[in-house]
Amino acid sequence: MLEIKDLSVTYQSSDESYIALQNINLSLPSGGTCAIIGPSGCGKSTLLKVLAGIITDYEGTVLFDGNPILPSKQKIGFIPQNYGLLPWKNVYENICLGVKLKNRQLKVNKSSVEFMMRQLGIDGLEKRYPGELSGGQQQRVSLARSFLLKPDLLLMDEPFSALDAITREEIQDVFLEVWKRQAVSTILVTHYVEEAVYLGQKIIILSSHLGQVSKIIDNPLFGGKDIRKDKGFFELSLYLRNFIKKDWADVGE
């Protein structure tokens, strides 16, 4: 269980301070997914950086299974917007990188890598370099690297936003298939309402006002079969879009 209590982050510069997150309270059961939607600059990346252990100077508590969140204690997978692949390493080496960074002594099991590559549909590409892959293929490599690590917590910062609509839907399906097998606690930031409804067991809408939570929804459609074709999918997406339009426009009134 991930528990965030009264989390506030203030950035300090020489002559001013800026509150990026204020009194955020969230809880996510282990093995769940949570999609976060928020306007630009509302603090989404700041929240992921706290969870990844990159920002440690914050107020409040962040506990994972009752312990303070620390990259040295938990395995945290992080997929940044640009996939985070090293251009000078081939696909196979990039996939092994997460495990290697966590434990330099550990020998990566070749058959596990091959299994993961098959699951993600990138078998046969092991010798290629990131520059020789499509965006969708790079995203699959990045997912393979994170899932191979078997993380306690997977963080994804707008992971599919650079992909065209069809590829994005394909990769969302691939993600869900692998996720179902591992049931990794996952938090993803997205700008797409439909992506949040498709991938988020919980959907969190952040306000543009001082990095606060505007709404938390337990998504009744999550995990259903073919939910994109469901009337409820369309209705929930429309409801969220209308809520966001009003909520984000209300700031400053």
Ligand X SMILES: Nc1ncnc2c1ncn2[C@@H]1O[C@H](COP(=O)(O)OP(=O)(O)OP(=O)(O)O)[C@@H](O)[C@H]1O
Alpha-carbon distance of 150 to 193, in angstroms, equals: 27
Q: CB-wise, 21 or 120, nearer to ligand X?
A: 21
- How far, rounded to the nearest angstrom, does the alpha carbon of residue 48 sit from its chain's CA centroid? 8
Q: Which residues of 40-69 are buried (b: 16+ CB within 10 A; e: fewer)?
A: eebbbbbbbbbbbbebeebebebebeeeeb
Among 10, 11, 86, 251, indicate the residue that binds ligand X (CB under 6 A): 11
Q: CB-wise, 42 or 96, nearer to ligand X?
A: 42
Q: CB-wise, 80 or 135, nearer to ligand X?
A: 80
What is residue 22's DSSP assignment?
Answer: E
- Using rule CB under 6 A, residue 40 touches ligand X: yes
Specify the amino acid at residue 213. Answer: V
Name the minimum Å distance from CB 11 to ligand X. 3
- Using rule CB under 6 A, residue 213 touches ligand X: no
Task: Please list the alpha-helical segments (H only) found in the chain.
Answer: 44-51, 91-102, 110-119, 135-148, 165-182, 193-199, 231-249
Contacts of 23 (CB under 8 A, 6+ apart): 6, 7, 8, 60, 212
Name the minimum Å distance from CB 19 to ligand X. 8
- Using rule CB under 6 A, residue 45 touches ligand X: yes
Q: Which stretch binds ligand X (CB under 6 A): 40-48, 84-92, 138-146, 192-200?
A: 40-48
- Using rule CB under 6 A, residue 20 touches ligand X: yes
- Using rule CB under 6 A, residue 46 touches ligand X: yes
Contacts of 44 (CB under 8 A, 6+ apart): 36, 38, 157, 189, 206
Coil, helix or strand at residue 127: coil
Q: CB-wise, 42 or 79, nearer to ligand X?
A: 42
Among 28, 32, 38, 154, indicate the residue that binds ligand X (CB under 6 A): 38
Q: CB-wise, 45 or 186, nearer to ligand X?
A: 45
Name the minimum Å distance from CB 211 to ligand X. 7
Nearest to 178 by CA among 126, 107, 138, 121: 121
Among 10, 18, 101, 238, indicate the residue that binds ligand X (CB under 6 A): 18
Name the minimum Å distance from CB 55 to ligand X. 9
Alpha-carbon distance of 212 to 25, in angstroms, equals: 9
Q: Which stretch binds ligand X (CB under 6 A): 41-49, 127-135, 220-228, 243-251?
A: 41-49
- Using rule CB under 6 A, residue 200 touches ligand X: no
Nearest to 119 by CA among 164, 178, 65: 178
Among 24, 34, 42, 122, indicate the residue that binds ligand X (CB under 6 A): 42
Chain residues binding ligand X by CB under 6 A are: 11, 13, 18, 20, 38, 40-46
